[in-house]
Amino acid sequence: MPLDQKNANKRILELEEMNKHLRIQVQENKSSQFKRAARKDWEKTVDAIEDWISIIDLDSIILRSNRTVEKYFQLKVQDAIGLKCCKLLHGTNHPVAACPLPKMIKTKKRESVEVETQDGLWMLISVDPIFNDAGQIISAVHITRDITQRILIQNEREILVKDLKDALIRIKTLNGLIPICSVCKKIRDDKGYWNLIEAYIESHSEAAFSHGICPECSDSLYGKEEWYIDMKKKKKQGNQ
């Protein structure tokens, strides 16, 4: 084979090899761009969630976080990384007694708890385990939701229910047959004593009496008195 032909074949092989490497590189670049785009979309999705979502290690140290941490604690994401979640929520460097993380490590499943923060807010905290290929828990997804408004409404409802129960306890009702004198209208109580109707009703209910005189009784009592007769005449003339 002529020398020129050998050089040409060698050059062709080199070009084919270069083309092969270029195709691989292009494919890798496309894959890398796709991964970056997918990661960016995922971060946008997580940042759009109103709950504070973070990844913590088994010592409660924050490894990653969405931007809701800025809303909850006025803290930049990069400043939250490396802190303990209990420091943000409770102002301590160690988990509080109600922390769901230790329980999650034992049960290896989601654990949740409602806790009051150092700022007086109420949060629903849930932790989900993250496993490695060997099935060991290596970290956790830490989700915090502000439930302060729900707790306030719940407390108001409980207070209202308690007030209603107290009111029901205070309410006394009259029922059954009540023995009453057909002449003086006194009522006999459970102990056999006869009481004025006003006293009996007041002791068995929340009612109170304001005394007055009806027209029939007024006529019966004062109908023959001159002052009463004059008063009625004036009242009648005033109504005409």
Q: What pTM, to 2 d.p., does this model score?
A: 0.57
Q: Which of 51, 43, 54 is nearest to 142 (CA)?
A: 54
- Average pLDDT over the chain reads 84
**According to the model, what pLDDT value does residue 80 have?**
95
**% of the chain exceeding 70 in pLDDT:** 86
The per-residue pLDDT for range 142-159, each reduced to its tens digit, is: 999 999 999 999 999 999
C-alpha dist (Å) from residue 183 to 43, 180, 186, 187? 89, 9, 8, 11
The per-residue pLDDT for range 157-180, each reduced to its tens digit, is: 999 989 888 777 666 666 667 788
3-state SS assignment for residue 111: strand
**According to the model, what pLDDT value does residue 27 have?**
73
Helical packing angle, 215-222 and 226-239, nearest 10°: 140
Q: From the centroid of its chain, how far is CA 154? A: 7
Q: Which long-range contacts (CB under 8 A, 24 or more apart) does 191-196 make?
A: none
**According to the model, what pLDDT value does residue 21 have?**
73
Question: Does residue 235 have a pLDDT over 60?
Answer: yes
3-state SS assignment for residue 146: strand
The per-residue pLDDT for range 115-137, each reduced to its tens digit, is: 998 888 999 999 999 999 999 99
**According to the model, what pLDDT value does residue 148 have?**
94
Give 208's pLDDT tier (boundaries 50, 70, 90).
confident
**According to the model, what pLDDT value does residue 4 have?**
61
Q: Which of 221, 220, 219 is nearest to 235 (CA)?
A: 219
Q: What is the DSSP letter of 182?
A: T
Question: Does residue 68 have a pLDDT over 90?
Answer: yes
Give 232's pLDDT tier (boundaries 50, 70, 90).
confident
Contact 64, 55 (CB under 8 A): yes
Question: Does residue 28 have a pLDDT over 60?
Answer: yes
Q: Which residue has the higher pLDDT, 105 or 224?
A: 105
Q: Which residue has the higher pLDDT, 222 or 42?
A: 222
**According to the model, what pLDDT value does residue 113 have?**
96
Average the pLDDT over 184-213 and give the result.
81
**According to the model, what pLDDT value does residue 82 have?**
95
**According to the model, what pLDDT value does residue 23 have?**
77
Give 86's pLDDT tier (boundaries 50, 70, 90).
very high
Q: Which alpha helices (H) appear in 92-208, and where do they start and end? A: 101-107, 148-170, 197-203
Q: Which residue has the higher pLDDT, 225 or 209?
A: 225
